Amino acid sequence: MEGKNIVVTGGLGFIGSHIVDELMASNNVTIIDNLSSGKVENLENPDNDNITLIQGDLNELDLDEILKGKDYVFHLAALASVPESVEKPLYSNYNNLDATLKLLNACKNNNIKKIIFSSSAAIYGENPNIPLKESEPYMPSSPYAVQKAASELYLKSFHESYGLNSVTLRYFNVFGPKQNLNSSYAAVIPNFISALLTGKQPVIYGDGEQTRDFIYVKDIVRANILACESDYNGIVNIASGKGLSVNELYPIIKEVLSSDVEPKYLEERLGDIKHSVADISNQSNINFKVDSSKFKDQLKETIRWFRDNL
């Protein structure tokens, strides 16, 4: 992708900043971020001439004005925390659904060529039909998941009603450099790494047989760009398609860190889903494929970042 005018909402966050770092070399990138969890330091080169930073809330800014002359929108801004959405359902709805609808309306008004939306595997809830296909029903069990599901439906309706092109990407467990340690997602990887780096005993909740489908943040960046460049409109799971149990994950991290510390097992956490693995056959619609053989190298890169930044 080159020479395009692009808006990245949430471009100072964990995933959004990686997208900006990639796009800024050859595109004009406008970031909209209210700094609620994002930070300027997440960007590799915040002073790059190709970056315009608009600090503000999607709900308060004049989006019709900001989107004038833009080609594409990557929408990542959200209150990306399930527990916080349970504590503050109205506030998370304001950030995750009201803001999305307002943004979609501005995309329609400005004839944006395509919007790529960051959704979540949370919309599948406790669905036991592993691996999970995009055609499975919505089974949200938190306000956050409801807000993502409703946003997805708004995207679909804006395509049908106004011809606004869009792809919804449902991320599974994302990990990588810049991940917030307070994040409730895939916290298991940063938690294990930070415990081992700071001499603490890592904790496994439950029997450790719960499976997760891990995906590296740079693969998420690739998926966003491929989805934007493709002719596809619809929903795609973004995951590796491989379930890894927490008991299988721990020895890999331990080995990479040359540690011999054993984990401590605590009682299962309320609301933890037992298995989460994606069906990835739909990824071919956007020419996306994950190379699972790189998992260890990706972990090493993540560990290097935590070592330098903890």
Ligand X SMILES: NC(=O)c1ccc[n+]([C@@H]2O[C@H](COP(=O)([O-])OP(=O)(O)OC[C@H]3O[C@@H](n4cnc5c(N)ncnc54)[C@H](O)[C@@H]3O)[C@@H](O)[C@H]2O)c1
Beta carbons of 11 and 45 less than 8 angstroms apart: no
Q: Does 177 bind ligand X (CB under 6 A)?
A: no
Q: Does 120 bind ligand X (CB under 6 A)?
A: yes
Binding residue for ligand X (CB under 6 A) from 27, 28, 30, 34?
A: 34
Q: Shortest gap between Cβ of 90 and ligand X (angstroms)?
A: 13
Q: Does 80 bind ligand X (CB under 6 A)?
A: yes
Quick one: which segment of 27-35, 132-140, 248-256, 301-309 binds ligand X (CB under 6 A)? 27-35
Q: Shortest gap between Cβ of 30 and ligand X (angstroms)?
A: 12
For ligand X, how many residues bind (rule: CB under 6 A)? Answer: 32
For 249-253, which contacts have Cβ atoms below 8 Å and span 24 or more sequence positions? 249/188, 249/189, 249/192, 249/212, 249/214, 250/192, 250/202, 250/204, 250/208, 252/295, 252/296, 252/299, 253/189, 253/192, 253/193, 253/196, 253/299, 253/303
Per the omega criterion (within 30 degrees of 0), is the bond before 131 cis? yes
Q: Does 143 bind ligand X (CB under 6 A)?
A: no
Q: Does 33 bind ligand X (CB under 6 A)?
A: yes
- Comparing CB distances to ligand X, the nearer of 112 and 116 is 116
Binding residue for ligand X (CB under 6 A) from 29, 67, 73, 79?
A: 79
Written as six digits, the tokens of 303 are 């560990």
144 catalytically annotated: yes
- Which positions are catalytic? 144
Q: Using CB under 6 A as the criterion, which residues of the chain lie in contact with ligand X when the complex forms?
A: 10, 12-16, 32-38, 57-59, 76-80, 95, 99, 118, 120, 171, 173-174, 180, 183, 185-186
